[in-house]
Amino acid sequence: MLPTSLLLLLLTFPFFGGVIVATMQRPSRNASAVVAGGVMAACALLVAVCWPVVASGDALRDYNAWLPRQGINLTLRLDGLAWIFAMMVMGIGLLVVIYARYYLSPKDSAPRFFALLLFFAGAMNGMLLSGNIIVMVIFWEMTSLISFLLIGFWRSNAAARDGARMALVITGAGGLCLLVAMLIVGYVAGSYDLDRVLASGPALRAHPLYMPALILFLIGAFTKSAQFPFHFWLPNAMAAPTPVSAYLHSATMVKMGVFLLIRFSPIFGGTAEWFNIVAGVGMVTLVVGAMVALFRHDLKGLLAYSTISHLGLITALAGIGSPEAIVAAIFHVMNHAVFKAALFMAAGIIDHETGTRDIRKLSGLARAMPFTATLAAFAAASMAGVPLFNGFLSKEMFFAESYAWHGGSHFDDALPYIAVLGSAFSVAYALRLFFSVFFGPPATDLPKEPHEPTPWMRRPAELLGALCLLIGVLPAITVGPILHVGALAVLGDDLPEYSLALWHGVNAALIMSVLAVGAGILIYAPFHGFIARGPEGPPFIHRLRAARVFELFMIYATWRQPRRLLHVLGTTRLQVQIRVMILMGVMGAIYALWSGGAELYKPRLTGANPVFALIWIVGAGCAIGAAYKAKYHRFAALILLGGAGVMTCVTFVWFSAPDLGLTQLLVEIVTTVLLLLGLRWLPRRRADMVDNFSLRVRVRRRGDLIIALVCGAGVAAISYTVMMMPAGNLASDWFLQHAYSEGGGTNVVNVILVDFRGFDTFGEISVLAIVGLTVFALLRRFRPAMESNELTTQQRIQNEYDDAADGRSRGDTVRDYLMVPSVIMHWMFPVIILLAAELFFRGHDLPGGGFAAGVTLAIAFLLQYLAADVTWVEDRLRILPVRWIGTGLLVSATTGMGSWIFGYPFLTAHSQYVTLPLVGQVPAATALLFDAGVFMLVVGAVVIMLIAIAHQSLRWSRAREKAAEEEN
Amino acid sequence: MELILSLAIGALVASGTWLVLRPRSFQVIVGLCLLSYGVNLFIFSMGRLRMAAPPILSKGAEVDPAAYTDPIPQALVLTAIVISFATTALFLVVLLAARGFSGTDHVDGRERDL
């Protein structure tokens, strides 16, 4: 028995490889191709190693819990069907890597290309290996995303971007439908595990949700496999580099839809709905795709429609759903992958060596490129279903199935005719592809002189071409066992008797084959000139493009309609938006109170302390005064704001929250200084400017006043109600009881912050760091308004006085004014630093802590800036706030991660007291280290904000001096 | 006491709301500061009002939760104070930058007719 971890290795290996390739240097085409090819080969080997288990009809399984409670687990499961597809993904992946190495030009970023290719292979692999249907959808969507990046690989090309977007929208939307379908299936089956889902077919088919689930499931499969009417994204995806088209859009990704159909046919299939919808859509796609392909002039466009048509054929087989049809479907998936990848590679070679993909320009290439012509002949013959090539075998099985009886409806009776019609067109476009490109007179107006490519560019395609012949001649030996195992995995005991052989005698299928080939020649031979002269697409209906309909719809749904809605519902006015937000909040609160039936307490003034009442008479007065003055008297408003802040601070202290009081006081200082610094850059606003508000403005102001009063009254009522309700908080009791015994600190608030809820604090200091850096970045680029650039009135008066007096130079007056304060501020510097240290070290046991200490130290720095001018301070004191921030964050994070070493989760704290000489007992919890990180970060963030604003005036005074010099 | 504090919260919130709805960016900043005082006091008051019972334990002794005030609202408010300082700073800088770019201190970045 193989180790099941092999599957996990197989799943993760391409992703690891992708990351490695992505980090390589750009010009390393060879190195990245070698690594990518090596990963593909290794994965193919891993898949091959699993063969013995799979061949015995068993599945290899591996279980890794992910979200076990939701039933979503990383269950890996490799059975015969998945084995075939995985082998195709890795095998053709290897060939595509080799091919792409020579296809990419040195200008393309090879590491990006190969990394994406590996990620894609990994996502495909994950989807195939998933034994959990939800995980499968996740990988399914991942392939959509990566295919978006691959189609848009040449991102400067508008067609590539549009094609990529279209593919993403269609397949992504399909993936969402699939997700819903899988949720329904999981609900009906009672599990998301694939094994249990596959066993619950009868229950699903009898369930009332069967139809919705089926429709959603089919939308998912049809969008991915480009079935009519979702087919149009595939031709537009041809803007991708040809290796991508060969890999994603012929061999692998588009096969996921049919993989899904085959995989789930045992549980969804067997009903009339399944037969009619799936076989019907498949047949329509088969005929429409083949017809359109015949009329395309672009080589890749022809191949894209041919791919659509062949996917239709496979879909039709899955829809027919009989055991024989499933065998044929799996067989045709393999054959199509081989011959279509070869053809795409040949198309890429032709494009690469001649400079054009236009079939009308290309002609007679067989002389210049004999090897390419031969391999293209093999692959095209296989595509057309010519005997001796692999496509013939699976197509014959298809004919036999379409001829067989499945219930005798009119649609069933029509199947053989539709099949022959579609195949006739298929023969015709194969003839057109081959003869117009490789035969005829040598082309004259090609952008490049055609010649064979470097040998290794055509080796992969040659190998695939040879496989067409080999499988076609010796099917039983080459693919017999693989096909058997794949079909066994789907059908189990229903596995039919079938024979893989070239010759079955003259039967209906052979006659249909002959008819199709004959009809194809009859279509091509007389009309090929007419087709070449015609438009791009079938006559009469070539203007009807599904892609255009889709684009019109997208423009309507994502541009016109939203703009109209925005026009009707939206506004660019901030005030209106805030008003709506506040009103919604008010209504939400009213609703909650109404339905909750809150009990209202009668207001009582018992036990009120007159001092406290006085404090808040002043506080409320300050608040209202600030509101009143903020427009014309900013400075006064700022002082009043500070008054309200101080009252808040007193309240905290009053009601047993020393930590809050301390922090509020410190932050108050910093905020006020910050706003003071900002005042300088605001436009002048005088009370006499306006007061004759229009009626509309007066009504609006009245309305705002009412809103404000309602908000205030509401919040007051709620807080009063809560405060009167009996207390009791179990979480708080727990924190109080365990703060010292487990957190090792007696200051419970600090223990909560740095220990119990350390992760929250970590997030919070990260926010602080981000804000600090944002402020710094904004102010680095920002220039205050030019009109604020003048000297302030005070500065002008001082300068005039200094200029007029003898023996004084500019700036002396302000220095005289600030003489006493600045000496005090200089001398207080070490004292405040000591205070910060005291606050920091006692924080775990007494009010204080990293926040308070950090802000204190920042204030110490700030005072120096106030005491002297910026240049004086920065000559003597070099503060590097960005380093403080970075170090702080690093210290906190490493402290948190330190607990991993001891096997505890992130930020588990350990506490102990250490006796230091002279100082005495010091709490030495790891939480202290964490708090040190908080401390450093707070210092850095606060200082960076203040300095960034303070530097503005410095910059402007420099700019002013420069301007004055230039004037002189 | 509860009544006084709730009225104070109401006054702070009302003044803050009024200012937040005003057109000049400095008014909005002052309004946000007032609102944050109000909201901080509101959260703080959720732990009920206790005098002379700070959540500072005495070492080693048996802990009686009833002897201390509720520490959780305090921890919440402590972080709220720091964050509201950060947002004030950020708003101030955005205000200054917007003023530099647009030449006006109207919150919409351009003068509206009155």
pLDDT one-digit tens code per residue, A442-453: 877 777 777 788
A775 contact B CB<8A: yes
Smallest Cα distance from B64 to chain A, Å: 7
Smallest Cα distance from B62 to chain A, Å: 8
Q: Contact B95/A678, CB-based, under 8 Å?
A: yes
Q: What is the pLDDT of residue B43?
A: 92
Is-contact A154 A239, C-beta < 8 A? Answer: yes
For the stretch A695-751, pLDDT in tens is 888 888 899 999 999 999 999 988 888 888 877 667 788 888 888 777 777 888 888
Percent of chain A with pLDDT strictly greater than 90: 25
Report the alpha-carbon distance of residue A116 to residue A138 in Å, rounded: 17
For the stretch A93-116, pLDDT in tens is 999 999 888 888 888 888 889 999
Among A247-261, A323-337, A538-552, A835-849, the range scoring the smallest mean pLDDT is A538-552
Contacts of residue A437, defined as CB under 8 A and 6 or more positions apart, other chains included, come to A299, A350, A359, A362, A363, A365, A376
**What one-character DSSP code corresponds to residue A77?**
E
Which tokens is A613 given?
A: 């009442």
Q: Which of residues 539-578 of A touch B (CB under 8 A)?
A: 572-575, 578
Q: Is the model more confident about A641 or about A870? A: A641
Report the alpha-carbon distance of residue A736 to residue A787 in Å, rounded: 57
**What one-character DSSP code corresponds to residue A907?**
T
Most B-contacting residue of A652, A736, A776 (CB-CB within 10 A), to test interface: A736
Using the predicted structure, report yes or no on whether residue A177 has a pLDDT greater than 90: yes
Residue-range definition of the domain harbouring residue B77: 2-49+69-102
Q: Contact A720/B72, CB-based, under 8 Å?
A: no
Q: What is the pLDDT of residue B68?
A: 85
* B107, part of any domain: no
Nearest to A227 by CA among A169, A266, A182, A278: A278
Q: What is the pLDDT of residue A138?
A: 93
Please report which confidence band the pLDDT of residue A783 belongs to, taking 50, 70 and 90 as the band edges: low
Dihedral sign (CA A770, A776, A782, A784)? positive
Q: What is the pTM of this model?
A: 0.70
Strands A913-916 and A72-78: unpaired
* B56, part of any domain: no
Residue of chain B whose alpha carbon sits nearest to that of A624: B15
Which tokens is A755 given?
A: 């220990």
Residue of chain A whose alpha carbon sits nearest to that of B39: A715
Report the alpha-carbon distance of residue A644 to residue A636 in Å, rounded: 13
Q: Contact A782/B96, CB-based, under 8 Å?
A: yes
Q: What is the pLDDT of residue A917?
A: 64
* B78, part of any domain: yes
Among A240-244, A334-338, A384-388, the range scoring the smallest mean pLDDT is A384-388
Task: Estimate to the nearest angstrom the gap between the alpha carbon of A349 and the chain centroid.
Answer: 34
* B108, part of any domain: no
DSSP symbols for A409-461? -HHHHHHHHHHHHHHHHHHHHHHHHHHHHHSSSPPSS-SS------HHHHHHH
Using the predicted structure, report yes or no on whether residue A641 has a pLDDT greater than 80: yes
A273 to each of A100, A283, A735, how far by Cα in Å?
43, 15, 62
* B109, part of any domain: no
- A257-286 mean pLDDT: 90
Q: Contact A747/B108, CB-based, under 8 Å?
A: no
Where b means 16+ CB within 10 Å and e means fewer, A843-876 reads bbbbbbbbbbbbbbbbbbbbbbbbbbbbeebbee
Report the alpha-carbon distance of residue A451 to residue A373 in Å, rounded: 11
Contacts of residue A272, defined as CB under 8 A and 6 or more positions apart, other chains included, come to A407
A406 to each of A325, A399, A410, A415, how far by Cα in Å?
11, 14, 11, 10
Please report which confidence band the pLDDT of residue A907 belongs to, taking 50, 70 and 90 as the band edges: low
Smallest Cα distance from A664 to chain B, Å: 7
- B31-44 mean pLDDT: 94
Total domains in chain B come to 1
Smallest Cα distance from A641 to chain B, Å: 7
Using the predicted structure, report yes or no on whether residue A220 has a pLDDT greater than 80: yes
Q: Which of residues 692-721 of A touch B (CB under 8 A)?
A: 693-694, 697, 704-705, 707-709, 711-713, 715-720
Report the alpha-carbon distance of residue A588 to residue A593 in Å, rounded: 9
List the single residue in B19, B37, B112 with the smallest CB-CB distance to A648.
Answer: B37
B111 contact A CB<8A: no
Report the alpha-carbon distance of residue A886 to residue A791 in Å, rounded: 37
* B93, part of any domain: yes
Q: Contact A740/B50, CB-based, under 8 Å?
A: no
Residue labelled with tokens 């802590």: A849
List the single residue in A675, A694, A739 with the smallest CB-CB distance to B57.
Answer: A739
Is-contact A740 B63, C-beta < 8 A? Answer: yes
DSSP symbols for A256-309? HHHHHHHHHHHHH-SSHHHIIIIIHHHHHHHHHHHHHHHT--BHHHHHHHHHHH
* B60, part of any domain: no
Most B-contacting residue of A723, A779, A780, A781 (CB-CB within 10 A), to test interface: A723
List the single residue in B9, B40, B71 with the smallest CB-CB distance to A736.
Answer: B71
Smallest Cα distance from A864 to chain B, Å: 20
For the stretch A620-629, pLDDT in tens is 999 999 998 8
A953 contact B CB<8A: no
Looking up residue B86, the CATH number of its domain turns out to be 1.10.287
Q: Fill in the amino acid letter for A712.
A: G
Q: What is the pLDDT of residue A649?
A: 93
Smallest Cα distance from B53 to chain A, Å: 5
Q: Contact B17/A711, CB-based, under 8 Å?
A: yes
Smallest Cα distance from B37 to chain A, Å: 7
Report the alpha-carbon distance of residue A632 to residue A629 in Å, rounded: 6
List the single residue in A644, A729, A753 with the smallest CB-CB distance to B12.
Answer: A644
Report the alpha-carbon distance of residue A167 to residue A223 in Å, rounded: 9
For the stretch A482-498, pLDDT in tens is 888 888 888 887 777 77
Report the alpha-carbon distance of residue B10 to residue A718 in Å, rounded: 10
Contacts of residue B2, defined as CB under 8 A and 6 or more positions apart, other chains included, come to A720, A723, A724, B45, B49
For the stretch B53-79, pLDDT in tens is 888 887 777 777 778 888 889 999 998
Report the alpha-carbon distance of residue B88 to residue A668 in Å, rounded: 11
Cβ burial, residue B50 (10 Å; 0-12/13-18/19+)? middle
Residue of chain B whose alpha carbon sits nearest to that of A710: B14
For the stretch A467-476, pLDDT in tens is 888 888 888 8
* B7, part of any domain: yes
Where b means 16+ CB within 10 Å and e means fewer, A726-752 reads eeebeebbebbbebbeebbbbbbbbbb
Q: Contact A659/B74, CB-based, under 8 Å?
A: yes
Q: Which of residues 43-82 of B touch A (CB under 8 A)?
A: 44-60, 63, 65, 68-72, 74-75, 77-79, 81-82
- A358-369 mean pLDDT: 81
Q: What is the pLDDT of residue A181?
A: 94
Mean pLDDT of chain B: 86
Task: Estimate to the nearest angstrom the gap between the alpha carbon of A231 and the chain centroid.
Answer: 25
Instruction: Please report residues of A whose CB lies closer than 8 A to that of B19.
Output: 626-627, 630
